[in-house]
Amino acid sequence: MPGAPFQPFAQLAGELLACLPAGNTDGSHDLSHIQRVWANARRIQAVEGGDLEVLLAATVLHDCVAVEKDSPLRAQASTLSAERAGVILSGLGWSTARIEQVAHAVQAHSFSADIEPLTLEAKILQDSDRLDAIGMVGVARCFYVSGRMGRALYDAENPTAEGRAYQDDAFAIEHFHTKLLKLAEGFKTGEGARLAAQRHGRLQVFVDGFMDEIGVTAAPAY
């Protein structure tokens, strides 16, 4: 059953998953990503509280409108997903108030949108999604997306970006400095921040090891 991993709301998850666009080829925003975000959300909610059903709906629908990372619409992706989520939940008979809770969480989860989460559920979803962007899974996703975008691993002529701004649209490793190594600073819940600190440490270890293996004796400060 498609919704089986999404306990205790497997039936609802199955209904919502059936509404997601078919033919998604982005392995960084696929079903496994949704499952990991849900696992993160459950861990945080177990400590912080919050409406678990709202969290489930927001988690499954948080990327229900697919927008590529290099699209000019990227900053609007979460708003588009929030609007689509409202339509889907209205069709399932959800009340206006609960739809608004889900829509706000979906809209505020995105780093690109830069929208402040105002509810506990929105804070948990934002933290849960960002946890999947750091740590070892975050490393894998970064290089997966960079490969899809045709980016090089690093600048062979200037691997530390000395004397210039980081160019993560050209070199995968530089995305760690423009975004990934900064994410742990902005977590909204105590439990999310605790988990983020652990995963941030793994990112640091990875970057140090990467730079050492390409012959850079001292990694740039972060």
Q: pLDDT tens digits for 176-208?
A: 999 999 999 999 999 999 999 999 999 999 999
> When comparing pLDDT for 30 and 196, which is higher?
196
> Which amino acid makes up residue 69?
K
Longest dimension (CA), the chain: 59
Output the pLDDT for position 222.
45
CA pair distance 126, 40, nearest whole angstrom: 10
**Is the link from the previous residue into 8 a cis peptide, with omega within 30 of 0?**
yes
Q: Render the burial of 188-208: b for 16+ CB within 10 Å, e for the rest.
A: bbebbbebbeebbeebeebbe
Please, where are the H alpha helices in 49-186? 52-61, 77-91, 96-108, 120-131, 135-148, 175-178
Q: Taking 60 as the threshold, does the pLDDT of residue 25 lie above it?
A: yes
| CA dihedral over 179, 181, 187, 192, signed as positive or negative | positive
- Name the one residue in this structure whose structure tokens are 């509810």: 119
Output the pLDDT for position 57.
97
Topology of the domain comprising 133-222 = Hypothetical protein af1432 (1.10.3210)
Q: Taking 50 as the threshold, does the pLDDT of residue 102 lie above it?
A: yes
CA pair distance 130, 141, nearest whole angstrom: 12
Report pTM: 0.90
Q: Taking 80 as the threshold, does the pLDDT of residue 11 lie above it?
A: yes
H/E element, 148: helix 135-148
Mean of per-residue pLDDT scores for the chain:
91
Q: Taking 90 as the threshold, does the pLDDT of residue 156 lie above it?
A: yes
Output the pLDDT for position 159.
96
Output the pLDDT for position 1.
47
Q: Taking 60 as the threshold, does the pLDDT of residue 218 lie above it?
A: no
Q: Give yes or no for a contact between 128 and 44, defined as CB atoms under 8 angstroms apart.
A: yes
